[in-house]
Amino acid sequence: MEHYAISAKRIFDGERFHTHSSLVWQGETIVGIFPTSTVDEKIIIQHYAEGIITPGFIDIQVNGGGGVMFNEKTDVDGIDTICKAHRKHGTAYLLPTLISDTPRKIHEALTAAQNALDCNTLGILGIHIEGPWINPAKKGAHNESLFFDPQISMLESLPWLKSGTTLITLAPEKVNNESIKWLSKKGAILSCGHSNATTQELDNQYFNAISGFTHLYNAMSPLEGRQAGVVGKALMTDNAWCSIITDNIHVSKESALLAHRVKPKGKLLIVTDAMASVGSKSPSFTLNDEIISVVDNKLVNTNGNLAGAHIGMDESVANVIKWGIDEAEAFKMASTYPAIAIKQERLGKLKEGFYASATILDPNYEAQHVLVNGILF
Ligand SMILES: [Zn+2]
C-alpha cells in the first residue's frame, strides 16, 4: 500500500510540537512523524508552508450542518451532509446529535447511525442522544412535551449501536435509577445535562455511572453559595469531563477560564453544539416545527432562547486561544480530550498506529484541510 505525507511549519502530535517534520501514513493508519529530510523521496509530501497540523478535531455534539438538522434528516445522507459541512471547519469526526424527540425518532436515529457506521460514512463515530430524558426546568430549546422518564421495556425496544460510541445526555434526577444502571451496562456513556439537580440529588450510588457534563454552565442549575448545583458538581467531580461551548455567546471568557483552572487537565473539552446553519447559506431552519434563526451570530428560537450555536470547531479553538489558553492545550481540548472522553483509543494523537486523521490550520487557526482515515480533504 502506498505511503502519503503532509508537512507544515509546525506539527502538534497531541503532546508536543515538531518542526521540519512530516506526518506519514499508509492506508488509514499513521506510520509516524519523521524529520522531512529522512522521508523516502518516493513519497510525495504535501507541504503547508505557514500551516499547523494538529490531531483531527472531534466534536461530540453536532446537531446539524450544511442546511441539515439530524432531527429532520435522520438517515445516512443527512449524517454525510453534516460531516462534510463540518470538515470545512476542521472537524474530522463527530457524533451526530439528536435533540429531544419521539421514541420513534430515536429508533430512526440509532438505525441511521448504525447504517452510516456500517457503510463507513467518513467522520461519524457514533451518536449523541440529547434528551428527551431531561428536566423541563432546564429545557433550553428542547420541546418539553416530548420529555419522559424511560422505562427499561422502552429502552430494550431500541436498536442500540453494535459499534461506535453512544453518548446520552440526561438529567439524572428525571431518570429512574434502574434505567440509568441499564444504560450504563449497555455501554452508553452518560453525561449529565439539561439538569436542575441539587448536589444532594446527584450524590447517590448511581452518580458513578455519569462520565461527564454536557455544555457546562448552559441548561444546568447554577453554582450558588448555599447550593453548588450541577455546575458546582461538574467543576468538583475530578474524574468527570465537561464539554463547553466556546462561541463567546453561551459562556463568557471568565467562566471558561475558571472552568479551565478548576478542572484537572484533560477534563474540559470543546463542543460546538452546531446547528444546520453552519456551512449553509440559509439563515434559518426548523426544529420540532419551530423556526430557528441566526440573529447577530446567535441562534434563537421564536421565544428568543438560545438554540444551539452557529460556529465551527476551528473558530471555537481560536476563541479559546484568544482568551489566553495555551495553544497546545486548546488543540487537545478539540481532539485529544474528546477522544479520551468517548473512548476512541486510536484518535486524538498523531502517533504510529493511530487513525490517519489531522486538521490543518492556517496561522489564524482557520481550517484549511482535514485528513480523515487517510483521505485528505
Ligand atoms: Zn443542549
Q: Are residues 50 and 91 in the same domain?
A: no
* 355 falls within a domain: no
Distance 354 CA to ligand 1 centre (A): 31
Q: Are residues 253 and 305 in the same domain?
A: yes
Query: How far is residue 341's CA from residue 338's CA, in Å, rounded to a whole number?
Result: 5
Q: For residues 167 and 189, is the Cβ–Cβ distance under 8 A?
A: yes
- pTM score, whole prediction: 0.97
Q: Are residues 65 and 185 in the same domain?
A: yes
Q: Are residues 173 and 191 in the same domain?
A: yes
Distance 214 CA to ligand 1 centre (A): 7
Helices (H) and strands (E) in the chain, counts: 10, 21
Q: For residues 60 and 243, is the Cβ–Cβ distance under 8 A?
A: yes
Distance 219 CA to ligand 1 centre (A): 7
Distance 130 CA to ligand 1 centre (A): 7
Q: Are residues 91 and 133 in the same domain?
A: yes
* 332 falls within a domain: yes
The pLDDT score that the predictor gives to residue 348 is 98
The pLDDT score that the predictor gives to residue 121 is 97
DSSP state of 137: G
The pLDDT score that the predictor gives to residue 194 is 98
Q: For residues 59 and 342, is the Cβ–Cβ distance under 8 A?
A: no
Distance 16 CA to ligand 1 centre (A): 33
Q: For residues 310 and 274, is the Cβ–Cβ distance under 8 A?
A: yes
Q: For residues 14 and 351, is the Cβ–Cβ distance under 8 A?
A: yes
The pLDDT score that the predictor gives to residue 236 is 96
* 188 falls within a domain: yes
Q: Are residues 21 and 93 in the same domain?
A: no
Q: Residue 109 sits in which domain range?
A: 57-347
* 353 falls within a domain: no
- Mention every residue, 6+ apart, whose C-beta is less than 8 A from residue 206: 172, 177, 180, 181
Identified catalytic residue from 273, 296, 314, 326: 273
Catalytic residue list contains 13: no
CATH number at residue 107: 3.20.20.140
Distance 141 CA to ligand 1 centre (A): 8
Q: Are residues 110 and 125 in the same domain?
A: yes
Distance 312 CA to ligand 1 centre (A): 16
Mean pLDDT (10-residue bins), the chain, 377 residues: 95 98 98 97 94 98 96 97 98 98 98 98 98 96 95 98 98 96 97 96 89 98 97 97 96 98 98 93 85 87 85 97 98 98 97 98 98 97
Q: Are residues 34 and 95 in the same domain?
A: no
347 to each of 11, 13, 228, 311, 372, how far by Cα in Å?
16, 11, 34, 23, 11
Q: Are residues 217 and 301 in the same domain?
A: yes
Which cell is 309 given? 450555536
Q: Strand, helix or coil at 251?
A: coil
235 phi and psi angles, rounded to 5 deg: -70, -30
DSSP state of 202: H
275 phi and psi angles, rounded to 5 deg: -115, -175
Q: Which residue has the cell 441539587?
A: 198
Structural domains of the chain, count: 2
* 352 falls within a domain: no
258 to each of 24, 77, 251, 262, 268, how far by Cα in Å?
38, 40, 11, 6, 11
